[in-house]
Each structure stands twice: as structure tokens, then as C-alpha cells.
Amino acid sequence: MKIKKEERKNLNGHGSCILWFTGLSGSGKSTITNYLEEHLFSLGVHSVILDGDNLRHGLNCDLGFSEEDRYENIRRISEVAKILNEIGLVVLVATISPLQRDRELSRSICGHDLYEIYVSCNMEECVKRDPKGLYRKAKKGEITNFTGIGSPYEPPLNPHLVLESDKKNVKDLVREVISFLNQNNIELEHL
């Protein structure tokens, strides 16, 4: 690209990065990213959310939940996140991304601009929240390969940040993300 990342940073007044939120269904990934995006917007930071559920209705509508399809789902999301980051946006990715190897794929595609954030929440709380009734359906056998029931979730080995969504409210969690960005010199100058 002729326009360099530094030039986009100067134009936007802030740097860019990819915040990759991973965790079980119902852990709060989408809730946190929505509140975070609102906060960033109020500060004049250009951001976008790539939500795994929403992308499965469009870009990834041809994919199922086999191991190969999940891998391809993450690969596509990573490629889109990389492009959006390169044009100067703060990219908020909210996707279960259950396997360590898939998250390593994301890191290999996105590079050092990707920060892995583990939204930790105990299974009981996720089932209690169950915003779409998916755990109930999985337990009845209506959904197969559901992460946490019929398919594994591998917590990140070395996330950049852990958010305990079963112990803190969403505003405190967003503050933790903002603090993380500031401490790691992500260069969101408006913050």
C-alpha cells in the first residue's frame, strides 16, 4: 500500500490494533466489545466490531461447525481484521475461537498488532446467561459440536489480558481494556 500505517495514524489521530476477544458462548464477548466500541467512539477513535455470530450470517454463511469449517471461519475473520487494522481502525473481534491452534493462525496472519483477550467466565454462569438458548439446545442434542458441551474450548495459554466477566461488571471490564491499551502504548492518543 502506498499510504503507510504511520500516515493513517497521523490522519486519524490514533494508532490501530486488533483486540481478539475469545471465550465461551455467553461469557460476554459481544457485550464487552459493544460497550468498548461506544466508549472508543465517544473518544473519537475509529473502530469496528467483527462479531463471530454476525459474520456467520454473511461472509461465513457457507461454513458449518466441523473442525475444518471452524478453522476456515477463523482464517477469514483474521484476514478481514488484518485489512481493517492496516487501514487504521481499532478492530474488536468477538468470537469463541475455541482452539489454541486457530488463535495461533490468527496471530500468524495479523502479526504483532493482535492482542488476545480472554473473557473468562465459569460454565455455570455462561449457561445461566445463555442469551440464545444454545446450551439448552446442545444439552438436548438439538445442536451438535457446540463449544463447551460437545466440542472443546481451550483457554488461551498466554493471553495479553484476562477479563473475568463472571466477577466484574461490563463497565469495569471496559476500563481494564482501556488501561491495558494505555499501559502497552497502543497509541490511542485520544485516551
Q: What is the pLDDT of residue 52?
A: 83
Respond yes or no: is residue 16 known to be catalytic: no
pTM of this structure: 0.91
Q: Using an 8 Å Cβ cutoff, are 120 and 165 in contact? A: yes
Topology of domain 12-182 in CATH is: Rossmann fold (3.40.50)
Over the stretch 104-138, which tens digit does the pLDDT of each residue have? 999 999 999 999 999 999 999 999 998 778 888 88
User: What is the residue extent of each domain of the chain?
Assistant: 12-182
Residue 106, annotated as binding a ligand: no
Over the stretch 41-97, which tens digit does the pLDDT of each residue have? 998 899 999 998 788 788 878 887 778 888 998 999 999 999 999 999 999 999 999
Q: What is the pLDDT of residue 132?
A: 79
Residue 16, annotated as binding a ligand: no
Q: Nearest CA to 55 among 82, 39, 78? A: 78
More confident residue, 12 or 96: 96
Over the stretch 138-190, which tens digit does the pLDDT of each residue have? 888 888 888 888 888 999 999 999 999 999 999 999 999 999 988 876 666 54
- Residue bearing cell 461447525: 65
Residue 24, annotated as binding a ligand: yes
Q: Nearest CA to 94 among 52, 60, 125, 134? A: 52
With b for 16 or more beta-carbon neighbours within 10 A and e for fewer, the 79-115 pattern comes to: ebbbebbbebbbbbbbbbbbbeebbebbbebbeebbb
More confident residue, 9 or 125: 125
Q: What is the pLDDT of residue 4?
A: 86
Residue 27, annotated as binding a ligand: yes
Pick the catalytic residue from 16, 47, 78, 97: 97
